[in-house]
Amino acid sequence: MITEIRLGSDGNKNFDALERYAKNTGISIFKTCSLEGLTDSFHPALMENPFTVKMTAAVSMAFHLSDAILEGIFNQPTPHYAMHYNRVNSLLDDAALKITAIIQNSGFNAMPVPASQIIDKSSQRGYLNHKIIARAAGAGFIGRNNLLVTREYGSRVRLVTVLTDAPLKLCGPAEDGCGECYKCVSACPAGAIGETPGQFCLAKCVEQISKFQRLMFVAKGICGVCVKACEERI
């Protein structure tokens, strides 16, 4: 139970306690990283909060999406995937709230950042980029599809972040790459994916997602085609 967990000054013990709790709630990957050099990527609105500058570390959590549901995606998102996407985001936000409660109950500060919230529509940005945090924490790397690619699950994950000043063992980034895999390039219905992550065309991706969003059963701006394609365990 949350009330039975108390963090202290030992970062290793704190990490172990939080990871154990998170994985018991369904989280697939639990990582941490220092925020040094990462706050430049935060949205200005997040930096306006005076508590943001007090945060020294980030907890990055990932949930492994249902492979069975993803296999039902072909050229466009399905109603099944749309519902799954929403429920997974809710699970991640709930996990972030519980981790926040543990940290705060232990006398430290914590700030959960929603799994899926756009606050700047023109740039499709949230308060922070969960992928940047996850990459810095060693959960994976940014692939050609502009998504996080994990060793365990490919891109078949959703992410959430908690910022904190609690002492934590910090994980390091993992250097990796897509190698000779180009499945997402040929699968993308918008032709938005290039040879390198830097060649990814966000405008084409957003345009295609906007078309999908007009489908009766898709309320969120989702696609899932390249997520399905990235099934390789790197």
The full DSSP string for 19-37 is HHHHHHTT-SEEEEEE-TT
pLDDT of residue 176: 79
pLDDT of residue 121: 77
Residue 105's φ and ψ, nearest 5 degrees, are: -65, -20
pLDDT exceeds 90 at position 87: yes
pLDDT exceeds 70 at position 139: yes
19-55 per-position pLDDT tens digit:
999 999 999 999 999 999 999 999 999 999 999 999 9
Asked if residue 128 lies in contact with residue 118, where contact means CB atoms within 8 angstroms, the answer is no
Say if 105 falls within a structural domain: yes
Task: Please list, in sequence order, all residues whose beta carbon lies within 8 angstroms of the beta carbon of residue 100, skipping any fewer than 6 positions away.
Answer: 110, 111, 112, 162
Q: How confident is the model at residue 218 (pLDDT cuts 50, 70, 90)?
A: low
Say if 68 falls within a structural domain: yes
Say if 9 falls within a structural domain: yes
Q: How far apart are CA 18 and CA 74, in angstroms?
A: 37
Say if 129 falls within a structural domain: yes
Q: How far apart are CA 16 and CA 18, in angstroms?
A: 6
- As beta bridge partners, residue 160 has 61
Its pTM stands at 0.94
Q: Which residue has the higher pLDDT, 160 or 4?
A: 160
Say if 101 falls within a structural domain: yes
Residue 173: left if φ>0, alpha if ψ -120 to 50, beta else—which one?
beta
Q: Which of 9-13, 109-113, 123-127, 167-171 has the lowest mean pLDDT?
A: 123-127
Task: Kindly report the average pLDDT of the chain as a whole number.
Answer: 93
Say if 151 falls within a structural domain: yes
Q: How confident is the model at residue 225 (pLDDT cuts 50, 70, 90)?
A: very high
Structural domains of the chain, count: 1
Neighbours of 208 (CB within 10 A): 19
Pairing, β 57-64 against β 29-34? antiparallel
Say if 188 falls within a structural domain: yes
| DSSP states of 210-228 | HHHHTSTT--SS---HHHH
- State both tokens at 55: 């945060």
Say if 234 falls within a structural domain: no
| Domain region containing 73 | 2-229
pLDDT of residue 233: 53
Residue 6: left if φ>0, alpha if ψ -120 to 50, beta else—which one?
beta
Residue with tokens 């997402």: 184
- State both tokens at 116: 């899926």
Closest CA to 193 of 155, 160, 136, 161: 155
Neighbours of 136 (CB within 10 A): 24
156-213 per-position pLDDT tens digit:
999 999 999 999 999 989 877 898 999 999 999 999 999 998 999 999 998 998 888 8
Q: Which residue has the higher pLDDT, 117 or 121?
A: 117
pLDDT of residue 234: 46
Residue 32's φ and ψ, nearest 5 degrees, are: -135, 160
Q: Which of 18-27, 54-63, 116-125 has the lowest mean pLDDT?
A: 116-125
pLDDT exceeds 80 at position 215: no
